[in-house]
Amino acid sequence: MDRVSLIVACFGTSLLVVCGAAASAEPPTARDADWVDALRRSAEALHWSDELIRHDWRLQRRPGTTDCRILDPQERVIHTGSAAECSAAFAEMEASGRIEPVRGPTVIVLHGLGEGRDSMKPLVTHLRTAMHSTVLAFGYASTKAAIADHGRALAAVVAGLPAAERISFVGHSLGNLVVRSWMAQAREPDLERVERVVMLGPPNHGSDLAKMASNVWLLAALSDGAARDLVIDWPKVAPQLAVPCCPFGIVAGGKGDGAGFSMLLEGDDDAVVRVAETRLEGADDFLLVPVHHAAMMKHPTVQEAVASFLTTGRFPATTPQAAP
């Protein structure tokens, strides 16, 4: 793995190379326009964090600013302004019945570093079909603010769901640290509503890949937001993360052969996080699946395991499947 691969592995970013467009005289097709629009939305998602979520409606803030916006279920920006202006507009749409409230059992799904809510769509879709719960996707600008800041954004989302009497969380990678940060600063009434947590590939003890990046001057200098927390400031961040105060299960990716998918990492791993790094004392169940870190949310065994733990508090007995 070269340094470019290391950057991708550590920071979860996707590198896109577009070539040949200038040489084509063909006008853009509707499909091209859809692709460009989807790409634009994915890039924008990295700059905004959710603060209110109602099903697929959301009020977002740009971290470190007072700039807010409201997105409808089609990801269209329908209102922009200050926090007060957007909150008032959101409340008006709720009062009119345009935005329905969230009631009953609720599951909040969190993506990882350098990703957006779209990365969790396969899992969200599965859970919405398999469970009798409202499933919400929480998006946060992972590289634009620290883990503690994302924890505070999650606190706003949870506080804004007063009719959700039972709340569970499913995090991928960094998303689990955001949940643990929220739990360390949460109000007791909100903590009492938490039912279960499922962790997918969590770097609960930091990341050896991040430590490698910290020894590369350019990578260390470029790290920002939550990436900096992992690469530079992990010794300060780790003590600020709570162990879940509810039943929680961990799904780790690995080959089960003691070697794993990456030649850079010692022991078993999912190509990004070592199996040993995922473990956390107090876990109620643990499952090893032969899957790469970035593909966990798409893997059928992982999807079924998440639904099982959220429903019963245990992972099912599974037959290992080949890694995609």
SS (H, E, C) the chain: CCHHHHHHHHHCCCCCCCCCCCCCCCCCCHHHHHHHHHHHHHHHHCCCEEEEEECCEEEEECCCCCCEEEECCCCCEEEEECHHHHHHHHHHHHHCCCCCCCCCCEEEEECCCCCCHHHHHHHHHHHHHHCCCEEEEECCCCCCCCHHHHHHHHHHHHHCCCCCCCEEEEEECHHHHHHHHHHHHCCHHHHCCEEEEEEECCCECECHHHHHHHCCHHHHHHCCHHHHHHHCCHHHHHHHCCCCCCCEEEEEECCCCCCCCCCCCCCCECCCCEHHHHCCCCCCEEEEECCCHHHHHHCHHHHHHHHHHHHHCCCCCCCCCCCC
Closest CA to 165 of 110, 244, 106: 106
CA distance 23 to 141: 35
Tens digit of each residue's pLDDT, the chain (324 residues): 333 334 334 444 332 222 233 333 455 565 555 555 555 566 777 899 999 999 999 999 999 999 999 999 999 999 999 999 999 999 999 999 999 999 999 999 999 998 999 999 999 999 999 999 999 999 999 989 999 999 999 999 999 999 999 999 999 999 999 999 999 999 999 999 999 999 999 999 998 877 776 666 555 555 667 877 787 778 999 999 999 999 999 999 999 999 999 988 999 999 999 999 999 999 999 999 999 999 999 999 999 999 999 999 999 985 444 444
Rounded to two decimals, the pTM is 0.86
Q: 261-268: which pairs have CB atoms within 8 A and are 24 or more residues apart?
A: 261/292, 261/323, 262/1, 262/9, 263/1, 264/1, 264/6, 264/208, 264/209, 264/212, 265/208, 265/209, 266/208
Query: Is residue 50 a contact partner of residue 58, using CB atoms and an 8 Å limit?
Result: yes
At 230 the pLDDT is 84
CA distance 34 to 19: 18
At 225 the pLDDT is 74
Q: Are strands 49-54 and 57-61 parallel, antiparallel or unpaired?
A: antiparallel
Phi, psi (degrees; rounded to nearest 5) at 77: -80, 115
Q: Which domains does the chain have, with CATH numbers?
A: 3-14+103-312 (3.40.50.1820)
Q: Which two tokens stand for residue 228?
A: 């900096």
Sign of CA dihedral 187, 193, 196, 200: negative
* Amino acid symbol at 3: R
